């Protein structure tokens, strides 16, 4: 059993925004696939929190890739995983490595 995954309000809002874009651009099937991939990624993070790389802007925050469409940014705490936000990878990068 892994660590519990806590979704912040910002993460919820950014996830919903990406879902709306996926549905509008690619349709219902792509949206369902995106949601399934997101759940799988969060389950993987729960079981293996340090799997994904640290970010350049904060070593305590990690970036997990959800297919090529988006990323999830999260922080590992001693008793939980905090999902901070989701990022649409088709946007301009927020930082450079």
Q: Count CA within 13 A, CB hemisphere, residue 44.
A: 13
Residue 77 has pLDDT above 50, yes or no: yes
Q: Measured between alpha carbons, how far apart are the two ends of the chain, in Å?
A: 33
Average pLDDT over residues 60-86: 95
- Angle formed at CA 56 by CA 55 and CA 61, multiple of 5 degrees: 30
Mean of all residue pLDDT scores within the chain: 92
Give this prediction's pTM.
0.89
Tens of pLDDT along 46-70?
Answer: 999 999 999 998 989 999 999 888 9
Cβ(70)–Cβ(14) below 8 Å? no
pLDDT at 76: 96
Q: Could you give the domains of the chain? A: 5-88 (3.30.2310.20)
């Amino acid at each position: 059993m892994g660590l519990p995954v806590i979704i912040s309000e910002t993460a919820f809002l950014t996830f919903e925004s990406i879902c709306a874009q996926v549905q509008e651009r690619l349709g219902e099937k792509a949206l369902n696939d995106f949601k399934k991939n997101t759940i799988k990624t969060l389950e993987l993070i729960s079981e293996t929190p340090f799997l994904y790389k640290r970010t350049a802007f904060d070593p305590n925050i990690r970036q997990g890739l959800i297919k090529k469409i988006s990323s999830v940014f999260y922080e590992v705490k001693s008793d939980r995983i905090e999902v901070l936000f989701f990022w649409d990878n088709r946007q301009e990068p927020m930082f450079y490595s």
